[in-house]
Every structure is written in C-alpha cells, then in structure tokens.
Amino acid sequence: MTSSISTTCPYCGVGCGVSAEVSGAKVLVAGEKTHPANFGRLCVKGASLAQVLTLEERLLQPRIGGADASWDEALETVARVFSQTIAEHGPDSVALYVSGQLLTEDYYVANKLMKGFVGSANIDTNSRLCMSSSVAGHKRAFGADTVPGCYEDLEEADLVVLVGSNLAWCHPILYQRLVAAREKRGGLPRVVNIDPRRTATSEIADLQLSLAPGSDVALFSGLLLELNRAGKRAKKFVAAHTNGLDVALAAAKPWTLDKIAAETGLSRADLQRFYDLVIENEKTVTVYSQGVNQSAAGTDKVNAIINTHLLTGRIGKPGCGPFSVTGQPNAMGGREVGGLANMLAAHMELDNPAHRALVQNFWGAPRLADSPGLKAVELFQAIDDGRIKAVWIMATNPVDSLPDADFVRAALKKCPFVVVSDVAEYTDTGAFAHVLLPALAWGEKEGTVTNSERRISRQRALRAPPGEARADWDIICDVARRMGFGEAFSYDGPAQIFREHAALSGTNNGGARDFDISACADISDAAYANLAPFQWPVRKGEESGDAPKRFFADGKFFTPDGRANFVATPYRGLAQKAAEGEFVLNTGRLRDQWHTMTRTGRAEQLSQHIAEPFAELNPLDAALLGVEPAGLVRLSNARGAVLLRAQITTRQRRGSVFAPIHWTDQFASAARVDALVAPVVDAISGQPESKGTPVEVEPVDAAWYAFALTRKKPEHLDSAYWAIARIAGGWRVELAGLEAPEDWELFARRLFGLGAGEGELTVLRDARSGSYSCVAAQDAQDSASASGRRMPEPAQEIIGAIFVAKTPVSVARSWACEQFAQDGVKPLALLAGRPPRTCRDPGRKVCVCMNVGANIILDAISEKNLGNVAAVSDATGAGSGCGSCKPEIERLLGQQRAAVALKS
Ligand SMILES: Nc1nc2c(c(=O)[nH]1)N[C@H]1C(S)=C(S)[C@@H](COP(=O)(O)OP(=O)(O)OC[C@H]3O[C@@H](n4cnc5c(=O)[nH]c(N)nc54)[C@H](O)[C@@H]3O)O[C@H]1N2
Ligand SMILES: Nc1nc2c(c(=O)[nH]1)N[C@H]1C(S)=C(S)[C@@H](COP(=O)(O)OP(=O)(O)OC[C@H]3O[C@@H](n4cnc5c(=O)[nH]c(N)nc54)[C@H](O)[C@@H]3O)O[C@H]1N2
Ligand code: SF4
Ligand SMILES: [Mo]
C-alpha cells in the first residue's frame, strides 16, 4: 500500500514542502505542489532526501561511556548529574547548547526546562553563529525580531540586492523563484550581488560588487547618503514613524565616494551604478545572509541595510524591504520559542520584568532566569574554565562549527559531563559524550518548523522509529520529569506542546508583540496532524488566509513609542586585520552538502558534485606562493592548521582564501576550517566573525598523490592528506603523503581492507615516473557469500583500485567511479584510469539529477553551438532535473564563450 505524506525539507530556511510516497520501506520524495514556499520544486538536497533515510551509521541506541545502555540508565544518569551539579554549584553551572535544526516543539521544551525550571538562561543555540546579528539588528530597528516581508517580494521587486548571500547554492528554491520571475518579467528584478568572491549566484547578477571583506558598512553608509541626496527620503514616513535619522546620517557623513572606493576596493563607476540602481528602483528588496551576519560588525551591517529601507520607506509594501534569509530549517522557530540565551519565549524579553512575570506565571515555573545566559562562544569558554560542569548538546556539532574549534574540542574533553543527542553514530562532537542519546531524524519525527518568511509547516513521520531512537521533545521531557519537574513536562505529544506555545504567544498580547499564533491555542490533535502551512501572525479568532503577510505597512513598530529606529553605524571593518603576506580566510557553503555532512555525506548522489575539501585562491596569489593547480595547501595560524586541495580561480579576489565548512574528521585528515577561525564576536549579538580570519597559506610539497576506490569504508588511512566520499558501491578516496610508503601493495591492501594473499591484484608500475596503479579483485562468490548473493559461476568483483603518482593524479574520476559501480568491469580496463579513446570522460558531475558531467556539457556547447541554458538542457539533459546546477551551466557557457573569443 502506498501512502502520500506531506512534510517539510529539513535543510535550509526556504522551508520547501515535500511530498513523500511511502510504500513499505520505500520512500520517494517530490516537491509538494501546493506548498507556498516551493510550489512543487525541490533542490538537489531536497530531492535526495530518500537516500538520507539510510540506517547505515545511524545512532540507534543510548550509550554511556561508549557502551550501549538502556534509556532508563541513560536518562537517569543525565537527570542525576544535572540535578547534583545544580544542587552543588547552582543553576548556572549547567548548560544546554541546542540548534536551529530542532523542531519548534523540541526547542520549546528545552527552553522551558532551562529558563523556567533549572532557572538559568545558559541555553544557547547554533543560531548564535547564524542569525543572531539579524535578531539584534531587527530589535534595534523595529523593537522586535521581525522579518517584515515574504518570498513574493523577491518576485515583485524591480531590484534585488543580495548581500553576503550565495542564494543559488544556499537557498536554491528561492533563487529559482527569482530566476523564474526574471524570465517572466523580461529581466526584472535586476540583481546586484555583493560578495567578495564571485559565486554561482554571480551568474545572474546584473552587477557584481566584489567588495573587500568586511567593508559592507562603508558601502551602505554611502548608499544612505546618496539616497538622501537624491531626494529619496520618504518624508512623511520618516517624520511620522521613525527616530534618529540625523544621527545615522551624521555617522555616515564621512563616507565620500572616494573613501568608499578606497575602503571597499570597488571602482567609483561601479559604486555609482549601484547607488543609481537603488535610487531609481522604488521596489527594492535587500536580501542578506552570512556575509552580513557572521561579522564582528554584523549587527551594524544589518542596521546599515535597514537604515536605507527606513529612509526610503521601502518596507512593509509588496516588492520592498530588508530580508534576512534564514539558514536552518527552524532558525525562525528557535527565535519564536526564545532559544537564544538573551531571549525569553514567544518573542518576549528576558530583561523585561513584565514579560518575565508573564512567562513564569504561564509556565507555573518555580523560578525564572532573570539575566541573560552565556552566548555560544562564551559558553564554551565557561566549559573550558570550569564554570560550566555539565552540558547537553542537541542537534549541533560544535567541535566542527564553532570558531576556535580545537579549543572547543579541548574544552569538551575536560568537561566533567557531556551529553549529546544526535542522529549520527559518529560525529566529532559525539566522540566526547559521556552519554550519547539517539534522536529521531527527519522522516521519523513530528512537529513544526518556521521558514524565512514566517511560515509554519509540519514535518511528519514517514516511518516508525528505528531502533531505540526517540523524539527530542520526548527525551527532554523525560529528563525534566526525572529532575522533578513532572507536571510541567507531561505532554502526550507534540500537538500539546504546540498548543501551549501558541497560547503563550497570545497571552497579554493584543498586538503588542509581533509573534502571535494564538489562533492555534486550541488546535485539536487531528487539526494539528493536518495543519497546512501558514504564515504568522494569526491572532486568536483570525483565519490564516492565503494572502502574503507583511509587517509595518501601517508604520507601526514594536518599540516603546511605536517608531522605527535609524541606527548610527560607525565603521569598523574586519576585527582582525591581515598582516603583510597573510590572507583573509573566508568560509561558507557548497551546493550539495549540508554543514558537517552527517546526513548529506551519506547520500552518494550528493558527493558527486564536489568530493574533496579545497581552498580557492586567486591565480596571482597562487603563482606568488608557488601553489600548483590541484596541489595541496596548508592554511594555518596560531590556533590551528588545515590541509586542503588548491583550487585556483579568478573568482577569488587577491589576498583572500575561501574554504568550505563541511569537511570534518569523519571525512578528511585535516579540514575542520573552524580550527582556524578566531573566536572574535560582534559586541552586540555575540555572533562570531566566521568569514574574516587572518591565516598563512603555504604550498605543501607532497611526495606522492593518489586516488582510490574501495568497497569497504577505509579504516586505515595512513597518509598526511586524505578525504573520503561515498559513491555508488563504495567510497572514493583522495590521498597524498610527504613520504612514500615502502610497499605500495601493502598500502593498497590496508586501504581496501584486504588481507595478505587475499584477492588478486593487477598492477601497473612505472619506475621512471614513479607511478603505481593497482586494481584488486576477488571472486564474486567470496564477497557475495556474506550478502547471500549466489552467482552461477565464479565472476570477479573489483574491490579496490588505487592510482599513485608523484604529481596530482589525473585519473578520470567520474568515469572511474561509474566503472566501479558496475558489475563485470575488467580490472585492466579500470587500471587505465581513463576511458578508451572511443568514449568520453564525462568530467566532474555538474548535474547530479541527470548525471551529466562538465565535459559532456562543454562538448555539447561547442559542437552544437549552444547559446543558453535551455539549449544545453535540451541537448544533454543537464539542468532539467531540480535545476540547482543551472548557474554552473551558465558558467560553462561563459567559459566556452571566452575560449572561442580567445581563439578568434
Ligand atoms: N547547500 C547548502 N545550503 C545551505 C546550508 C548548507 O550547509 N549547504 N546551510 C544553511 C545555513 S544554516 C545557512 S546560515 C545559510 C547560509 O547561506 P549563505 O549566507 O548564502 O552562505 P555562505 O556560503 O555561508 O556565505 C555567503 C557568502 O558570504 C560571502 N562573504 C564573506 N565575507 C563577506 C563580507 O564581508 N561581505 C559580504 N557582503 N559577503 C561576504 C561569502 O563569500 C559567501 O559567498 O545556508 C543555508 N543553506
Ligand atoms: N567557519 C564557519 N563556521 C560556521 C559557519 C560558517 O559559515 N563558517 N556557519 C555557522 C552556521 S550559520 C551554522 S547554522 C552552523 C551549523 O553547524 P552545526 O549545527 O554544528 O552543523 P550540523 O552538521 O547541521 O549539525 C547538526 C547535528 O545534529 C544532528 N541532527 C540532525 N537531525 C537531528 C535531530 O532531529 N535531532 C538531533 N538531536 N540531532 C540531529 C546531525 O547529525 C549533526 O550532528 O555552523 C556555523 N559555523
Ligand atoms: S531549497 Fe532548501 S528547503 Fe528547499 S529543497 Fe532545497 S534545501 Fe530543502
Ligand atoms: Mo546557519
């Protein structure tokens, strides 16, 4: 029997609706046609969700000290140690570190437990690293953490300014909506992309501003002045609904065009083009993300942007407004329940006595935290210096994602009591857990999430809980009951928690607070089960309705006097300036991976796009440093070091180096980039400057390089550099070393997990060039007997292949992976390392859905003289699936055009 279940994607903050066809253990996912975020589309991560449901390397049993334990033992231990620690050292000696990937119901009870029952605000979340500058900026300007607009605004605008946002890769479906609008409206909205490096998003930009890292406040201070000078001040709006314009203008005053050009590194002509575009376009939306938030001046960056919208009154109207796009699926839900250490529940304030009394009363809480708790970076410093003695980490992987990550790791190592709730068996953080708790994952859990446009959608279970895993809310409530807070945590399910959350949002509200979903305060279990996506606010007695909701159309804000605040944003730039010869380390995301890869790293499809950690360097810098294409580089500073593959590209500006955040110790030898990132934070929001740390870059002179394929996950990776990625039928491995091993055969056997004398090795060795290749095969029956497969007659199965050379190995990797996945491939054929002449190496996978490589696309463009993405799609199929690769096809078109221009 097949059932169709509507749920929500667990990755980015676009919050796409997913329709899952479930028949037995088989799950097929597609975009939910009626969901207002995506109308049926999914990006490649969403489309691969079924693959991530694998139970391989899932945590399915509680563990104490590394050994399997019962839930009773595990929860009793957590409750006992937390209670004892609180009794001996006070409520502030314990902490929760949670995540924007918890569901609202999980998040609500975690916050209630800590702030209301433990009585400490030492609960912070990875949203501190993500959205806290936006939260602080919103609060300064609007008096509340309100996102004013909605997704339609991006389609209805005439100009979309993207600041520090790689929308094409990080919010792909919102990006596709923008692209579709441009196609429909003849190129409107026009797009300005403000990012130090060129990204996939740059492909649609009418104007790319590759500004100096950290210089956004200068750029937007100049914009404020220019708008004012050009008579764009919305005089009535500013006079009736705002405060502080004079102060903001005065702070911006020193920013002449020449000074801005000097600070940002942009030409006067580009600056003027940008300013003119904003001046000319009443309907302007400014979308911003981590290039803005993750900065020691993050809150000022946010306010510098908001100032320009307040000046022009471009807020609260269709096609207008500042728009902070959220990263995690429930970044917004976390803010609604008050998951940050300096917030209370339901968008109430921890430092407001009336709010505190309201919440304490509502919860019937014995005590309520009365001062802000420690923010993420400080929280781990407090673990290090012993102020915090017990910590419970849920749905986040701080050993990889917090700045100064080696320090974080050391702090956890010496912390007397660490609890980790996760879905993955092996994580860099879980390795330090005294108690490891198996949580239900996406597709198993029930609850709600809120996306970037304040839309609440249901996540629904597609299958029964596997193993012993339990829902996060359930685990938290069980511990709370064992700590003696029984009554307040005796929920029978997420619906009951949601009702309470909704009721709290409406208590004593009456429009005084932005967040209000009290219309759901009495929702029945059945209605919760069927809850359709809706945008808040929906106050008691209101219908949610279909019309997009915007805040501030009436000019009423949530400050005490109801007026919005302009905020003076004095300039700071990067907190740490790179010294002569040092580089600015910029970090961020890739199209097909999600954060620390605990889920996306399990989907073989998602490793095809980019299978290895890398560092993007400008060609001139690379030449000066002596870095060879595809060579290795070491990035280091006083805090740590990483070893990455060099990617030399003009998309990178000089003096900067970009590295993705995804690779952990589970997937690479030394690629945890946060080990380098300075724990420097924004003074107001506490958000770390994750995109601007000085580092040294040096080439690494490897004695050998290798590419390998293995059936089994490699256990012995004896080399200075390695990176593994899942592929169909096994793993692909990149290796390099400083000294060649004595015996390559032994090395290969260890890598493949093949004992001496086992299997049959076909070897190709070239003493002159020092290259060595070998393919190991085994009688298929040997390897099949374990899985119960029966073969009519002994056939050989390839179980490993390695290609070693003194320079970066030029094996046709996509082709080799495909050979490896097939049955009946001859060892000698694979040993060649590339396809026979009659057949083309497909090249790096650009389109994962349709399985099309870069070489196929480039060939088609030149042979058939293709001029646009649609033509490439028709000819090759690339881009006709989820569409996430369209910007890259655009780039290949550009590359081919440039090649033709050079020839002629
Ligand atoms: N594929 C994928 N999508 C994701 C995620 C993922 O892991 N993978 N994670 C989700 C999450 S939690 C988040 S928070 C979002 C993040 O989404 P984004 O913010 O779009 O992603 P990032 O790559 O972190 O950073 C965006 C850009 O900021 C630029 N930048 C760096 N310094 C500066 C600066 O000083 N000024 C400006 N203007 N720009 C700068 C970087 O070059 C980078 O291209 O993505 C979400 N979506
Ligand atoms: N240098 C640098 N550092 C950064 C950033 C950057 O741009 N640059 N970005 C920052 C940002 S914006 C973010 S959001 C963070 C993200 O960083 P993290 O939050 O550390 O990354 P994730 O891999 O998403 O971690 C989520 C963990 O929760 C587990 N998990 C998944 N689902 C569930 C569940 O339902 N329940 C439980 N209990 N566990 C679950 C996953 O297996 C995983 O271990 O990184 C931050 N760090
Ligand atoms: S855009 Fe975001 S929410 Fe939508 S399918 Fe992709 S990852 Fe999921
Ligand atoms: Mo994030």
Q: What does the pLDDT look like over 294-315, one tens digit per residue? A: 999 999 999 999 999 999 999 9
For ligand 1, what atom is nearest to the CA of residue 590? 1
> Which backbone phi and psi does 828 adopt, to 5 degrees?
-65, -35
What is the SS3 assignment for 27-46?
Answer: EEEEECCCCCCCCCCCCHHH
Cα 460 to Cα 443: distance, rounded to the nearest angstrom? 6
DSSP letter at 140 equals H
Pairing mode of beta strands 435-438, 640-648? unpaired
76 C-alpha vs ligand 2 centroid, how far in Å? 27
CA distance 684 to 679: 15
* CA-closest residue to ligand 3 atom 6: 43
Instruction: Please enumerate in sequence order all residues whose Cβ is within 8 A of that of 112, keeping only pairs 6 or more positions apart, or say none.
Output: 345, 363, 365, 488, 489
User: Is residue 375 in contact with ligand 3, taking CB distance under 6 Å?
Assistant: no
Q: In terms of residues, how long is the chain? A: 904
CA distance 805 to 90: 60
Lowest mean pLDDT, pick from 364-378, 406-420, 890-904: 890-904
According to the model, what pLDDT value does residue 650 have?
95
In sequence order, what are the beta bridge partners of 339?
none
How far lies 739's CA from each of 645, 708, 721, in Å? Answer: 18, 18, 11
Question: Residue 99 is encoded by which pair of tokens?
Answer: 């995540």
- For residue 199, the ligand 1 atom closest to its alpha carbon is 44
Q: Is the pLDDT of residue 363 over 60?
A: yes
Alpha helices in 210-297 (DSSP H): 216-229, 235-241, 245-252, 257-264, 268-280, 290-293
- The partner residues of 273 in beta bridges, in order of sequence, read none
> Closest ligand 2 atom to the C-alpha of 445?
35
Packed helices 216-229 and 268-280: angle between N→C axes, nearest 10 degrees: 50
Residue-wise pLDDT tens digits, 768-786 = 888 999 999 998 765 554 4
| Protein residue whose Cα sits closest to atom 4 of ligand 3 | 16
Band of the pLDDT at 903, cuts 50, 70, 90? low
The total of other beta-carbon atoms located within 10 Å of residue 236's CB is 10
Number of Cβ within 10 Å of residue 422's Cβ equals 23
What mean pLDDT value characterizes the chain? 95
Q: How much distance in Å is there from the Cα of 712 to the middle of ligand 4?
A: 33
Which atom of ligand 1 lies at the shortest distance from residue 171's CA?
47
Are the CB atoms for 337 and 17 separated by under 8 Å? no
| Each residue's pLDDT tens digit, 586-627 | 999 999 999 999 999 988 889 888 999 999 999 999 999 999
Q: How far is the CA of 45 from the centre of ligand 3 (A)?
A: 7
Averaged pLDDT, 226-251: 98
Comparing C-alpha atoms, which of 834, 833, 835, 861 is closest to residue 846? 861
3-state secondary structure 155-186: HHCCEEEEECCCHHHHCHHHHHHHHHHHHHCC
Q: Which two tokens stand for residue 80?
A: 């006992």
Mean pLDDT score, 640-663: 97
The count of C-alpha atoms lying within 13 angstroms of the C-alpha of 366, restricted to the half-sphere facing its C-beta, is 12
- The CATH homologous superfamily to which domain 845-903 belongs is BFD-like [2Fe-2S]-binding domain (1.10.10.1100)
CA distance 218 to 570: 9
12 lines ligand 3 (CB under 6 A): yes
2-53: CATH class: alpha beta
Beta-carbon neighbour count of residue 72 at 10 Å?
11
Contact 414, 389 (CB under 8 A): no
Alpha-carbon distance 327 to 289, whole Å?
Answer: 8
> Where do the structural domains in the chain lie, given as residue ranges?
2-53, 69-130+330-389+440-535, 132-324, 583-700, 704-781+793-831, 845-903
Instruction: Give residue ranges with CB within 6 A of ligand 1.
Output: 12, 45, 130, 163-166, 169-170, 194-197, 199, 213-214, 216, 289-291, 327-328, 586, 588-589, 591, 593-595, 691
Query: Where are the extended beta strands (E) located within 76-116?
Result: 94-98
- pLDDT value for 240: 98
- 42 Cβ closer than 6 Å to some ligand 3 atom: yes
The dihedral through the CA atoms of 661, 663, 665, 671 has a sign that is: negative
CB 334 within 8 A of CB 108: no
The enclosing H or E element of 721 equals: strand 721-727
Ligand 2 centroid to Cα of residue 111, in Å, is: 19
The DSSP letter of residue 101 is: T
Give the number of the ligand closest to the Cα of residue 35: 3
Tally of CB atoms within 10 A around 522: 11
User: Residue written as tokens 């935290």?
Assistant: 369
Give residues with Cβ within 8 angstroms of 231, minimum separation 6: none
Q: Is the shortest distance between the CB of 41 and ligand 3 below 6 Å?
A: no
State the alpha helices, DSSP H only, in 686-812.
744-752, 780-787
Q: How far is CA 484 from the centre of its chain?
A: 37
- Tokens 């609060």, residue located: 139
| CA 790 to chain CA mean position, Å | 44
% of the chain exceeding 70 in pLDDT = 98
Q: What is the pLDDT of residues 60-111, one digit of tens each?
A: 999 999 999 999 999 999 999 999 999 999 999 999 999 999 999 999 999 9
Architecture of domain 69-130+330-389+440-535: 3-Layer(aba) Sandwich (3.40)
Q: Is 16 in the pocket of ligand 3 (CB under 6 A)?
A: yes
Q: What is the pLDDT of residue 786?
A: 47
What class has domain 583-700? mainly beta
In this prediction, what percent of the chain has a pLDDT beyond 90? 91
Q: How far apart are CA 843 and CA 811, in angstroms?
A: 10
pLDDT score at 796? 83
Instruction: Out of 19, 171, 175, 609, give the residue to mutate to test ligand 3, the one with the largest number of ligand atoms within 8 Å of its CB.
Output: 171
In this structure, which residue's CA is closest to atom 17 in ligand 1? Answer: 170
Round to whole Å and give the CA distance between 321 and 317: 7
Helix (H) or strand (E) holding 6: strand 2-8
In tens, the pLDDT along 801-819 reads 999 999 999 999 999 999 9
| pLDDT of 545 | 87
Statement: residue 827 has pLDDT above 60 = yes
pLDDT of res. 782:
57
- How many separate helices (H) and strands (E) can be counted in the chain? 31, 34
Q: How far apart are the first and last CA of the chain?
A: 62
CATH fit for domain 132-324, picks 3.30.505.10, 3.40.228.10, 1.10.10.10, 3.30.300.210? 3.40.228.10
Element (H, E) at 502: helix 494-506
Q: Report, as an integer, the average pLDDT of 640-668.
A: 97
Q: Which amino acid is at 280?
A: E
Cα 9 from Cα 47, distance rounded (Å) = 9
- Is residue 147 a contact partner of residue 347, using CB atoms and an 8 Å limit? no
Sign of CA dihedral 699, 701, 705, 711: negative
